[in-house]
């Protein structure tokens, strides 16, 4: 089965795991401290260019919404046709 030294190995392994966990907490604390002090810097853009960018983003969002709606409608039609085929044919 086992021998008398096995429980000591388990205790040593558990201690090693506890030490690793403590170092993880230290790294996490250091990261959180440094993350809070970071300030974002954005590029300076003229108001005309900003309105152009906003319009482009809105246009793309509208196109994506239409595509998504079309996909939902197509999938719904396929499901209904499949059910119709299973029930009536």
Helix (H) or strand (E) holding 54: helix 47-88
DSSP-derived letter for residue 43 is P
Q: What span, in angstroms and rounded, lies between the C-alpha atoms of 54 and 41? A: 19
Contacts 24+ apart (CB under 8 A), 31-39: none
pLDDT tens profile 6-51: 778 888 887 777 766 666 677 777 777 776 666 778 889 999 999 9
DSSP 8-state symbol, 44: P
Q: pLDDT per residue over 57-79, tens digit each?
A: 999 999 999 999 999 999 999 99
Residue whose pair of structure tokens reads 């403590």 in the numeric block: 22
What would the two tokens of residue 48 be? Answer: 């005309």
């Amino acid at each position: 089965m086992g021998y008398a030294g096995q429980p000591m190995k388990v205790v040593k392994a558990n201690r090693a795991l506890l030490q690793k966990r403590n170092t993880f907490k230290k790294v996490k604390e250091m990261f959180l401290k440094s993350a809070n002090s970071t300030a974002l810097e954005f590029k300076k853009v003229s108001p005309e260019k900003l309105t152009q960018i906003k319009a482009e983003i809105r246009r793309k969002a509208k196109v994506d919404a239409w595509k998504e709606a079309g996909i939902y409608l197509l999938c719904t039609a396929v499901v209904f046709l499949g059910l119709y085929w299973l029930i009536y044919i």
